[in-house]
Structure 1
Amino acid sequence: MTERRWGLNRPTEADIVAGGFSTPWDAPFIPPFPFQFRNAQILTAFYRTDPAAMAFLAPPPVEAVGDVVAIHIYKMNDTDWIGPYHEANVMFGASIAGREGAYSPYLFLHSDGGVAHGREVHGQPKKYANPSLEFRGDLIVGGVERNGIEVVTITTPYKQERADPAAMRAHFEFGTNLNLKSVNHIDGRPAIRQITSRKLTDMVVHECWRGPCTVELRPNAQAPVFRLPVIEPLEAFFWRADFTLVAGEIVHDYL
Structure 2
Amino acid sequence: MAERRWKRADIVRGGVSTPLDAPMVPPFPIRFRDAAILTLCYRTDPEAIAALLPEPLEPLSDVVMIHLYDMRDPDWLGPYREANVMVGAELPGIAAGAYSPWLFLSSDIGLAHGREVHGQPKKLGCPRIEMRGDLIVGTLERNGIAVLTGTLPYKQQRADLADLAAILPFATNINLKAVDHIDGRPAIRQLTARTLADVQLAECWRGPCTVELRPNAQAPLHRLPVREMLDGFFWRASFTLVPGRVLHDYLEESS
Give me the TM-score of the superposition, normalised by structure 1.
Answer: 0.96
- How much does 1:122 deviate? 0.3
- Select which of 178, 182, 187 maps to 1:182: 178
* Equivalences, count: 250
Q: Is the 8 A contact 1:4 1:10 kept in 2?
A: no
Deviation of 1:171 after TM superposition, in Å, equals 1.3
TM-fit CA distance, 1:65:
1.5
String of CA shifts for 1:195-218, please: whole Å, max 9, x gaps. 000011010000000011000000
Does 2:200 correspond to 1:191?
A: no
The 3-state SS of whatever aligns with 2:196 is strand
| 1:164 alignment counterpart | 160
Asked whether the equivalents of residues 58 and 92 of structure 2 are also in contact (C-alpha less than 8 Å), the reply is no
Runs of 4+ in 1 over 4 A off after TM superposition: none
Q: Return 10-19 or 40-49, whichever deviates more.
A: 10-19
How many angstroms apart in 2 are the aligned matches of 1:173 and 1:50? 19
Determine the structure 1 residue equivalent to 2:75: 80
1:147 counterpart residue number: 143
Deviates more, 1:9-18 or 1:156-165: 9-18
CA–CA separation in structure 1 for the residues paired with 2:200 and 2:8? 39
The residue identity in structure 2 corresponding to 1:210 is: R
Matched residue of 2:236: which SS? strand
Q: Is the 8 A contact 2:66 2:84 kept in 1?
A: yes
Percent of residue pairs bearing the same amino acid type: 65
Give the SS at the match of 1:95.
strand
SS in 1 for 2:219: coil
For the pair 1:234 / 2:239, whether they are aligned, the reply is: no
User: Does the CA-based 8 Å contact 1:201-1:246 persist in structure 2?
Assistant: yes
Per-residue Cα deviation, 1:23-68 (whole angstroms, up to 9, x for no partner): 0011100000111100000001110000000000000001111100
Q: What residue in structure 1 maps to residue 114 of structure 2? A: 118
Match of 1:217 among 213, 219, 227: 213
| Secondary structure of 1:45's aligned partner | strand
RMSD value over aligned CA atoms? 1.0
Structure 2, unpaired ranges of 5+: none
Residue 91 of structure 1 aligns with an amino acid whose one-letter code is M
Specify the alignment match of 1:36 in structure 2: 31
Q: Which runs of 5+ in 1 are unaligned?
A: none
Q: What's the CA shift for 1:4?
A: 4.4
Provide the residue aligned with 2:198 in structure 1: 202
Partner Cα separation in structure 2 for residue 11 and residue 22 of structure 1: 12
Return the offset for 1:239. 0.3
For 2:162, what is the secondary structure of its paired residue?
A: helix
1:63 to 58, 64, 68: 58
